[in-house]
C-alpha cells in the first residue's frame, strides 16, 4: 500500500474521462474497457456519447456514468443546462459535472451564478452535482467566491476545472479549502498526470480526480510498480 491506499481505493477516487472536443468513439470504448479492468468509480464522456456509454456500461456493477453539463464554457442559459441535465439523467447518468457561469462569476453577478447552480441541483434530486469553477481562468478571490457560491447552492462537490482550460495547482486547492474547508467535497481535473501529484493533492483533501484515459492508466501502472517494490 502507498499512503495506506490500496490499488482499489485509488481507482475509486478516479473518474476516467474522454471529455475533450476531439474525443472520439474509440476513446469512449477504451475508457469503458479501462474502467471495467481497473474498477474506476466513474466514466465521463461528452453528452453526445452518453447514451452509447451507458450501453457499454451495462452489467458493469459499481461504475457510474457521469454527465457533463455546460461544457466547456458554462455560458449556456440555465434553461439549456436544465434540459441537458435532464436529458443526461435520462441516458442513465447518475452524476453531473456542471460548469459554473464563468463570465457572470467574473462580472460579480453572484445571484445569477447561484440560481444557475440551484436549478441544476434541484433537477438532479438525490444525484450528486459537482460544480466546475475553471480555476485557471479566475482570480484568487473569484475562486474563493465561486467555491462558496457552489457550496451554498447545494452542490456536493466543488471541481477545479473541465481539463480544457489549464492545470490545477496546489495553490488552487489551498484557496478552495480556505474558502469552504470540509463543508463540501473537492474534485480536481486538469494537470493530474502523475501518481505523486495525485497523492499530494489527496493529502490536501481532494477526494475525487477527473483524469484522462492515458494519464489514468499511467497512474495506476505507477502505483502497481511502487506497491511491488
Query: Which residue out of 81, 104, 130, 159 is catalytically annotated?
Result: 159
* DSSP type of residue 136: G
Residues ≥6 apart with Cβ < 8 Å to 35:
16, 42, 43, 57, 60, 63
Strands (E), 32-150: 42-45, 64-69, 95-99, 129-132
Q: d(Cα 13, Cα 130) in Å, to the nearest integer? A: 14
Q: d(Cα 191, Cα 211) in Å, to the nearest integer? A: 8
* Catalytic residue check, 159: yes
Query: Which residue out of 97, 145, 148, 185 is catalytically annotated?
Result: 97
* Catalytic residue check, 228: no
Residues ≥6 apart with Cβ < 8 Å to 45:
17, 18, 19, 23, 28, 31, 53, 68
CB atoms within 10 A of CB 207: 13
Q: d(Cα 161, Cα 150) in Å, to the nearest integer? A: 13
* Catalytic residue check, 104: no
- CB-based contact 209:192 (threshold 8 Å): yes
Q: d(Cα 165, Cα 133) in Å, to the nearest integer? A: 11
- CB-based contact 128:154 (threshold 8 Å): no
User: Catalytic residue positions?
Assistant: 97, 159, 187
Amino acid at each position: 500500500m502507498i499512503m495506506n491506499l490500496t490499488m482499489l481505493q485509488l481507482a475509486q477516487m478516479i473518474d476516467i474521462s474522454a471529455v475533450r472536443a476531439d474525443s472520439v468513439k474509440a476513446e469512449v470504448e477504451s475508457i469503458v474497457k479501462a474502467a471495467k479492468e481497473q474498477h474506476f468509480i466513474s466514466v465521463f464522456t461528452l453528452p453526445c456519447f452518453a447514451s452509447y456509454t451507458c450501453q457499454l456500461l451495462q452489467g458493469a456493477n459499481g461504475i457510474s456514468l457521469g454527465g457533463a453539463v455546460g461544457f466547456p464554457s458554462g455560458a449556456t442559459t440555465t434553461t439549456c443546462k436544465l434540459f441537458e441535465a435532464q436529458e443526461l439523467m435520462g441516458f442513465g447518468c447518475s452524476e453531473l459535472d456542471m460548469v459554473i457561469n464563468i463570465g457572470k462569476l467574473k462580472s460579480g453577478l453572484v445571484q445569477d451564478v447561484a440560481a444557475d447552480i440551484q436549478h441544476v441541483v434541484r433537477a438532479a434530486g438525490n444525484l450528486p452535482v459537482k460544480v466546475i469553477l475553471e480555476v485557471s481562468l479566475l482570480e484568487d478571490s473569484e475562486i474563493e467566491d465561486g467555491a462558496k457560491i457552489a457550496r451554498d447552492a447545494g452542490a456536493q462537490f466543488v471541481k477545479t476545472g473541465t481539463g480544457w482550460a489549464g492545470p490545477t495547482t496546489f495553490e488552487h486547492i489551498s484557496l478552495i479549502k480556505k474558502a469552504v474547508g470540509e463543508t463540501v467535497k473537492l474534485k480536481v481535473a486538469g494537470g493530474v498526470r502523475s501518481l505523486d501529484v495525485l497523492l499530494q493533492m489527496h493529502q490536501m483533501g481532494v477526494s475525487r480526480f477527473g483524469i484522462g484515459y492515458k494519464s489514468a492508466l499511467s497512474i495506476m501502472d505507477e502505483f502497481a510498480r511502487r506497491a511491488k517494490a
